[in-house]
Amino acid sequence: MPSWWRKCGRCQWRRVECLIPAPLIYAARAEDAGVRVERACDNARRIADYLCGNKNVERVMYPGLKNNEGHDVAKEQMSDFGMMVSINVRAGAKAAENFINSLKLWYLATSLVSGVHGFISGTGFACELFGGAVRLLDVSAATVRLSVGIESCEDLIADLEQALKNGEIGTKVYVPLTQSGDCI
């Protein structure tokens, strides 16, 4: 393997996929999709349970929780409760921003539909853009959405735990917020 290939790092897999005909890639991904979705849903359930007991989390929104307002409908309509979990960080918008910036295993993304890797998305920017409309959805700048992947659930929970503990000391700027830290 040439040395320049090793330097490509994360890009390497994309280059390999370019060398394989697309139908073969899609067939390989479809073949184990059921197993991946099952694992991601199981991880989401375990993460939601963990987050319910975390003192730095004000609210957990996951249809698999019996106290979730949509639980009964989801139970009737779905075979599982999905891989999306949303939380409200207790200390507010700035703490949510710092929480996101303190994560090490979750990828920051606006689209959360991998099913393989854990992705995370904050809502502060949407709050600034859409203001009152976002409030109708019961979303605030302290809301963080998690798209849970198939990684080790213990590793994902450990990363969430350290980020929630260290969230107050994060230094990167994630999204612009209003002076109060709330939606406009």
The domain locations on the chain are 16-169
Fold of 16-169: Aspartate Aminotransferase, domain 1 (3.90.1150)
Q: What is the model's pLDDT at position 81?
A: 94
The pLDDT score that the predictor gives to residue 44 is 96
Q: What pLDDT tens digit does each residue of the chain (184 aa) get?
A: 445 445 444 444 444 444 445 555 555 566 778 888 899 999 999 999 999 999 999 999 999 999 999 999 999 999 999 999 999 999 988 999 899 999 999 988 766 555 567 777 776 655 555 666 666 667 788 889 999 999 999 999 999 999 998 765 443 433 434 444 443 3
pLDDT of residue 46: 98
- The answer to whether the beta carbons of residues 115 and 149 sit under 8 Å apart is yes
Q: What is the structure's pLDDT at 112?
A: 57
Q: Look at residue 77 in the predicted model and tell me its pLDDT.
A: 94
Can you state the percent helix, strand and coil of the chain, rounding each to 5? 50, 10, 40
Predicted TM-score (pTM) of the model is 0.71
Phi, psi (deg, nearest 5) at residue 149: -105, -160
- Note the pLDDT of residue 173: 38
Among the listed residues 59, 174, 163, the one whose alpha carbon sits nearest the alpha carbon of residue 124:
174
The pLDDT value recorded for residue 128 is 59
CA–CA gap between residue 59 and residue 57 (Å, rounded)? 6
What confidence score (pLDDT) does residue 117 get?
72
State the Cα–Cα distance between residues 67 and 81, nearest whole angstrom: 14
Exposed e or buried b per residue across 120-150, where buried means at least 16 C-beta atoms within 10 angstroms of its C-beta? bbbbbebbbebeeebeeeebbbbbbbbbbbb
Instruction: Pull the structure tokens for residue 176.
Output: 């612009």
Residue 1, pLDDT score: 47
DSSP state, residue 169: G
Burial class (CB in 10 A: 0-12, 13-18, 19+), 72: exposed
CB 88 within 8 A of CB 51: no
Joined together, the tokens standing for residue 132 give: 């009152």
Gap between the Cα atoms of 184 and 170, Å rounded = 23
pLDDT of residue 184: 33
SS (H, E, C) 44-89: HHHHHHHHHCCCCEEEEECCCCCCCCCHHHHHHHCCCCCCEEEEEE
